[in-house]
Amino acid sequence: MSVIRKPTSQDAVIEKVFGEPLDELYAAAVAGTASPALHRIMELRSFLAVAEEQLARVRDRIHEATAPARHYELSAEELQWDLQWLQAALSGRQECVGALEEVLRTMPDPGARPQQGLPPPKISARATAAHPPAAQPPARARRP
C-alpha cells in the first residue's frame, strides 16, 4: 500500500492548515505546483506513515507474544529484540512528528501571496569563494 493511503496521526492537522484533502495536497506536490513548505510537509508525512506503520507492527507483535495463551512460549531474547525495534520505531516517529511540527510552525501562511516586486534571488549551483585568493609574495631573485 502506498504511503499516500496510509493514515497518520498528523493528517487532520495537515488538512486543516492547508484547507485541502491529502489527495489534493499530494497531487500538487507530485505535479510540482506545491510550495516548498507543502512539498516538505508531504515528504515528512510519508516518512511518518512508514514510522507509524512499523510502530504498530512491533506493538502488535509484542501483544501477540505476551498474550495469556502464549504464556509458556515467551522468549526473553525475542522480547529484547522487539523492545529494541520498538524504541527505534518510537524514535523515528518522534523525529518525524517533530520535524513536521517545525515546518508547520515556521512556514509562511499557506494563503499568503508572494510579495510583488523583485523576483526571488536565484541560487547558483556553482561554488564561489568567499574571499579572493591571497596575493602571492614576490619571488626572490636567486643569487648566482
pLDDT score for 120: 45
45-66 pLDDT per residue, tens: 999 999 999 999 999 988 888 8
Average pLDDT, the chain: 80
pLDDT score for 48: 95
Per the CB < 8 A criterion, the answer to whether 60 and 53 are in contact is: no
Q: How far apart are CA 110 and CA 71, in angstroms?
A: 53
Residue of 105, 115, 109, 9 lying closest to 52 (CA atoms) = 9
pTM recorded for the entire structure: 0.70
pLDDT score for 64: 87
pLDDT score for 130: 43
Low-confidence ranges of the chain (pLDDT < 70): 1, 71, 111-144
List alpha helices for the chain, DSSP H. 11-18, 22-31, 36-65, 76-106
Question: What torsion, rounded to 10 degrees, do the Cα atoms 54, 57, 61, 63 define?
Answer: 110
pLDDT score for 71: 67
